[in-house]
Amino acid sequence: AQSSIQGRLQLGMQYYQQSDFTRATEIFEGVLKDDPMNNTAYAYLYNSHVQLEQYDKAEKLANQMAKRDRTQAMYEVDQAYALRKQGKESKALQQYDALIKKLAANRGQLMMLANAFRMRGEFDYAIKVYQRGRQLLSEASAFALELADLYMATGQKPAMIDAYLDYLHAAPHQLNYVQNMLQARLADEDYGVLRAVLLEGIQ
């Protein structure tokens, strides 16, 4: 049965890669029927519904999975994301905010929720998770590299530099790494920004 599921997953992935989302949907639905907690089938089925703009079906699927497993934050994020795609903006954002509000001082849980937001391109919410995580863990430099990546992705260069400086404060031996990352990620015209952030840090 397991090898049959693997074979069907491979076939479904082939259809997905060929952008034949209708066929992919049929296969992944079948796999989930036989193996209800198969996360690979879930992820591909959810994404197939999104590609086909079947946002109501994506929401229903995420809702079913959330009821089966309350430990996985990604299902609730996916549910809210599907609501957002249906134009139910305030309901979706309420759900996002509620997820952040109920976070505990648990590094693994924080990273899981941030990654779930990141997977859906909800970078601002991933940033909020890490910022809340810093408060909960009472660690001013926690998640510095993750935040640096997210600030880079959202074009927030001064905040990205700050995040790298936070990291450097916690790990002074990583000076070369931080210098290399800043060189790679900053254009010539950004060096004024770097100078301003460094001067502010010195003051």
pLDDT score for 6: 92
- pLDDT mean for each 10 residues of the chain (203 residues): 83 97 97 94 97 97 94 94 96 97 95 97 98 96 97 96 95 96 93 90 77
pTM of the prediction? 0.90
pLDDT given at position 70: 85
d(CA 78, CA 118): 11
Rounded distance between C-alpha atoms, residue 42 and residue 31, angstroms: 9
- Contact, 188 vs 164, CB < 8 A? no
Which pLDDT belongs to residue 164?
Answer: 96
Q: Report d(CA 40, CA 7) in Å as an integer.
A: 13
Numbers of helices and strands, H then E, in the chain: 12, 0
Distances (CA, A) of 50 to 17, 25, 169: 14, 11, 42
Question: At a CB cut-off of 8 Å and minimum separation 6, what does 194 contact?
Answer: 161, 182, 186
Q: What distance in Å separates the CA atoms of residue 91 and residue 87, rounded to the nearest whole number?
A: 9
Decide: helix, strand or coil at residue 58: helix
Query: Distance (Å, rounded) from C-alpha 11 to C-alpha 150?
Result: 34
Cβ neighbours for 152, distance < 8 A, ≥ 6 positions apart: 160, 185
**What is the structure's pLDDT at 2?**
57
Compute and round to an integer the Cα radius of gyration of the chain.
Answer: 20
List all residues 6 or more positions away from 181 whose beta carbon is below 8 Å from its beta carbon.
Answer: 148, 164
Half-sphere exposure of 88 (CA within 13 A, CB side): 14
- pLDDT for position 3: 66
Phi-psi domain of 35 (left: phi exceeds 0; alpha: psi -120 through 50; beta: other): beta
